[in-house]
């Protein structure tokens, strides 16, 4: 309603102004002439026009700067959080890789130490075995030497006993020789006599065989170590010859 009244008022003012301008223009061109000129006034038809009210444009509310800054800050924070997460993941992966590498190196070092220790143990065991074998050889040599000496002692006893029991036949001559084999048991008893090499004289050979049976048993053998008996006296070879005879 107020808009309509304003339109009427503006139109009335405009009409009055136009008439005033026309009157001033006529007066400015007037000259005192003998003839009277009648100026017919021109009438301007004025018509009131109802103007439609202008549509007010609805402006969208602009985002306040504080809202924009908050959104941008959230984006920045989100991006930084993502970057931190990626950095942490990368760091965790690097740590895991380093731990795996350290474990592999530690395992390699452990195996190297074990291999070194194994070789050292094998070398030490080999040296100990060699030393033990050398000691056994030395002990065996010493034992063999002692056994040989003991066997010689017992053999001398047997030879002395056989010499005491041997009656040399009249047919015995220098150069004659008879080799016999005595088979004994640990009690010193003779279980067999065999002539391995004959002298060529029957009486000489028979005298040697009779001397062997007369000299038995050899009771001294009962004090002998079993290994010495088995090695030296299970079977004994004796040579008879009349080298001490004087012709």
Q: What is the pLDDT of residues 77-130, one digit of tens each?
A: 999 999 999 999 999 999 999 999 999 999 999 999 999 999 999 999 999 999
Mapped onto helix, strand or coil, the DSSP state of residue 10 is helix
Decide if pLDDT at 10 tops 90.
no
d(CA 165, CA 193): 15
The model's pLDDT over 41-68, given as tens digits with 9 standing for 90+, comes to 555 555 555 555 566 665 665 555 677 8
pTM (2 d.p.): 0.47
User: Higher confidence at residue 176 or residue 23?
Assistant: 176
What pLDDT, on a 0 to 100 scale, did the predictor assign at position 39? 52
Instruction: Evaluate whether 223 touches 142 at the Cβ level (below 8 Å).
Output: no
What radius of gyration, in Å, describes the C-alpha atoms of the chain? 77
Q: In order of start, what are the domains of the chain with their CATH numbers? A: 150-240 (3.30.1150.10)
């Amino acid at each position: 309603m107020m808009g309509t009244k304003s339109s009427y008022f503006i139109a009335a003012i405009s009409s009055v102004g136009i008439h005033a301008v026309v009157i001033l223009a006529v007066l400015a061109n007037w000259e005192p002439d003998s003839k009277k000129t009648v100026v017919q006034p021109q009438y301007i038809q004025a018509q009131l026009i109802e103007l439609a009210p202008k549509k007010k444009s609805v402006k969208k509310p602009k985002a306040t700067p504080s809202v924009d800054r908050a959104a941008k800050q959230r984006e920045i924070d989100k991006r930084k959080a993502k970057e931190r997460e990626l950095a942490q993941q990368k760091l965790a992966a690097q740590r895991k890789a380093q731990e795996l590498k350290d474990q592999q190196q530690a395992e390699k070092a452990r195996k190297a130490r074990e291999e070194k220790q194994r070789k050292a143990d094998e070398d030490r065991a080999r040296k100990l075995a060699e030393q033990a074998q050398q000691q056994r050889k030395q002990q065996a040599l010493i034992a063999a030497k002692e056994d040989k000496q003991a066997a010689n002692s017992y053999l001398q006893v047997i030879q002395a006993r056989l010499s005491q029991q041997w009656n040399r036949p009249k047919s015995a001559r220098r150069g004659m020789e008879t080799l016999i084999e005595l088979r004994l048991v640990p009690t010193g008893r003779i279980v067999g006599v065999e002539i391995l090499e004959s002298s060529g004289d029957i009486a000489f050979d028979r005298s040697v065989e009779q001397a062997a049976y007369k000299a038995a048993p050899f009771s001294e053998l009962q004090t002998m170590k079993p290994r010495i008996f088995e090695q030296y006296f299970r079977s004994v070879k004796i040579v008879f010859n009349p080298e001490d005879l004087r012709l």
